[in-house]
Amino acid sequence: MRITVDRDKCEGLGMCQSMADDYFELDDDDELTILDDTPAEADRAHVFAAVQSCPVLALTLEG
Ligand code: SF4
C-alpha cells in the first residue's frame, strides 16, 4: 500500500491532515508532506478515509 499525491492538484486545503495528522503534514506555505507513504496494513481504513477526504482528489492509495 502506497500513498501518492498529485502536486498539480493539491491546493493545501488540509483535509487529509485533519483526518490523519500522523501521515499528512502541511507546512507554513501549505506544502504537503507525506510523513509515511507506505502505511501498515492495520492503518488502511484510517489512511483511506483521509485520502477520500481530499476535495480535489489529489491523493491516491495504491495497492
Ligand atoms: S486534502 Fe487534498 S488538497 Fe488538501 S492538503 Fe490534502 S492532498 Fe492537498
Model pLDDT for residues 20-39, shown as the tens digit of each residue = 999 999 999 999 999 999 99
The string of DSSP letters for 1-63 reads -EEEE-TTT-----HHHHH-TTTEEE-TT--EEES-SS--GGGHHHHHHHHHT-TT--EEEE-
CA distance linking residue 31 with residue 37, whole number of Å: 16
Dist. CA 42 → ligand 1 center (Å) = 23
Which of 59, 60, 61 has most ligand 1 atoms within 8 Å of its beta carbon, as the pocket-test mutant?
Answer: 59
Q: Which domain holds residue 9?
A: 2-62
Which of 9, 16, 26 has most ligand 1 atoms within 8 Å of its beta carbon, as the pocket-test mutant?
Answer: 16
- Counting the structural domains of the chain, the total is 1
Mean pLDDT of the chain: 97
Contact 63, 40 (CB under 8 A): no
Per-residue confidence band for 48, with pLDDT thresholds at 50, 70 and 90: very high
CA distance linking residue 5 with residue 26, whole number of Å: 13
The residue whose CA has the least distance to atom 6 of ligand 1 is 16
CATH number at residue 11: 3.30.70.20
- Predicted confidence at residue 17, as pLDDT, reads 98
